[in-house]
Amino acid sequence: MRKHKLIKFILVSIISGLLFTGCTKKLDQHIGQTEVTKWQGNKKAAVSITYDDGIITQFTVARPIMNKLNLPGTFFILTGKLAGAAEGRFIGRSKDEIIRETASTKTDETNFFERASLIGFTGFSEGVLAHSNAGSLFEAGKITEAYQNIDTAYEKLRRSRLKNTEEVVYHDNPQDTTRWEDLRKYATEGHEIASHSITHPRMAVLDEANLLYELEQSKAEIYKNLGEQYTFSVECPYGTENERVMEYARSVYPALRNRMPETYLDEINRSSDDDPEVSKNEYVQWQRGPLTNSSMDLMKSWIDKCVANNNIWLVLVFHGVDNFGWEPKTAGELETYFTYIKENENNLWVATFADVTKYIRERKSIEISSKAEGDTIILNFTSDLDPETYDVPLTLKTYIPNSWEKVEIRNAENVLMDGVAIHTDKTGTYVLYYMIPQNDKLFISSLN
Ligand SMILES: [Zn+2]
Give the CATH superfamily of 45-86+171-345: Glycoside hydrolase/deacetylase (3.20.20.370)
What is the Å distance from ligand 1's center to 54 Cα? 9
What is the Å distance from ligand 1's center to 36 Cα? 35
Nearest to 248 by CA among 228, 262, 234: 234
Q: Measure the CA–CA gap between 43 and 349, rounded to whole angstroms.
A: 6
- Where, residue-wise, is CATH 2.60.40.1180 in the chain? 28-41+357-446
What is the Å distance from ligand 1's center to 287 Cα? 15
- Where, residue-wise, is CATH 3.20.20.370 in the chain? 45-86+171-345
- Which fold does the domain 28-41+357-446 belong to in CATH? Immunoglobulin-like (2.60.40)
Q: Measure the CA–CA gap between 150 and 271, rounded to whole angstroms.
A: 27
Q: What residues contact residue 235 under an 8 Å CB cut-off, 6+ apart?
A: 50, 52, 76, 194, 195, 196, 256, 257, 258
Supply the pTM of this predicted model: 0.91
What is the Å distance from ligand 1's center to 200 Cα? 6
Mean pLDDT by 10 residues, the chain (448 residues): 41 36 50 96 98 95 98 97 90 95 97 96 87 97 98 92 59 73 98 97 98 98 98 97 98 98 96 95 98 98 98 98 94 98 98 98 96 93 93 96 93 85 93 86 91
Q: How far is CA 447 from CA 288, 403, 408, 416, 418, in A?
A: 48, 11, 7, 14, 9
| Residue pLDDT, tens place only, 169-202 | 665 555 678 999 999 999 999 999 999 999 999 9
R_g (Cα) of the chain, nearest Å: 25
Q: Measure the CA–CA gap between 100 and 285, rounded to whole angstroms.
A: 47
Strands (E), 269-414: 283-288, 312-318, 348-350, 367-373, 376-382, 394-400, 407-410
Q: How far is CA 347 from CA 35, 150, 285, 335, in A?
A: 19, 51, 17, 20
What is the Å distance from ligand 1's center to 386 Cα? 30
What is the Å distance from ligand 1's center to 71 Cα? 22
What is the Å distance from ligand 1's center to 32 Cα? 48
**What pLDDT sits at residue 1?**
37
| Residue pLDDT, tens place only, 298-349 | 999 999 999 999 999 999 999 999 989 999 999 999 999 999 999 999 999 9
| Residue pLDDT, tens place only, 144-157 | 999 999 999 999 99
